[in-house]
Structure 1
Amino acid sequence: MDRRVDGVEPSDRDPGPKPGHAYVELVGGPLDGMLLDVTGWPPQEVVDGAVLMSEHGAFGPSGRSDYESADADACAGGVGRFVWRGDVP
């Protein structure tokens, strides 16, 4: 099974990772198992994690899911994991 990248439309012919891009894996929560493209993100933003739109979270289509870096050193290099902290309105 190919991995899907967060933010890519399901109808995209190739929703998987692209060569030359840096990704983190989303672990837990409504986006579990997806990849987040962090190509071009400043290292500190990658370490800080992300709050991502998620229509499948506790707050429905207008909600967001909060993910934090599980391994700051790995994520600073664009590889690693973001772990779900919870959903926010």
Structure 2
Amino acid sequence: MDELIRRRVYGADHDDPDPGPRPGHVYRELVAGPLDGLLLDVTGWTDGQLREGAALATEIGSHGPGGRAWYGPRAGDPHHWDWAGDTP
């Protein structure tokens, strides 16, 4: 957990003095792509949502502002979500 404390959570404001994970929340680490290294808060997500992954809004993907980056669970390691590409 110590290594998670220093990590930034996807969606946290850039000027947030504490953009890290919160106690009692569940996270997935985003791997590769424009959101590499961020943590995604999946607290309260259903099993189906966790299997499906997510298209996450990003300003820095290949489609620029308004684009989304697709991330989904890694086979055999659902705590890491791998980048699958960008979409407008």
TM-score (norm 2): 0.89
Matching residue within 35, 41, 49 for 2:53: 49
Give % identity.
Answer: 50
SS state of the match for residue 34, structure 2?
helix
Q: Which has the higher helix share?
A: 1
Per the alignment, residue 59 of structure 1 pairs with 63
Matching residue within 4, 7, 16 for 1:3: 7
TM-score (norm 1): 0.88
1:1-89 superposed matches below 5 A: 2-71=6-75, 75=78, 80-89=79-88
C-alpha RMSD over aligned residues? 1.5
Residue identity in the other structure for 2:81: F
Residue identity in the other structure for 1:66: W
Q: Which runs of 5+ in 2 are unaligned?
A: none
Q: Which runs of 5+ in 1 are unaligned?
A: none
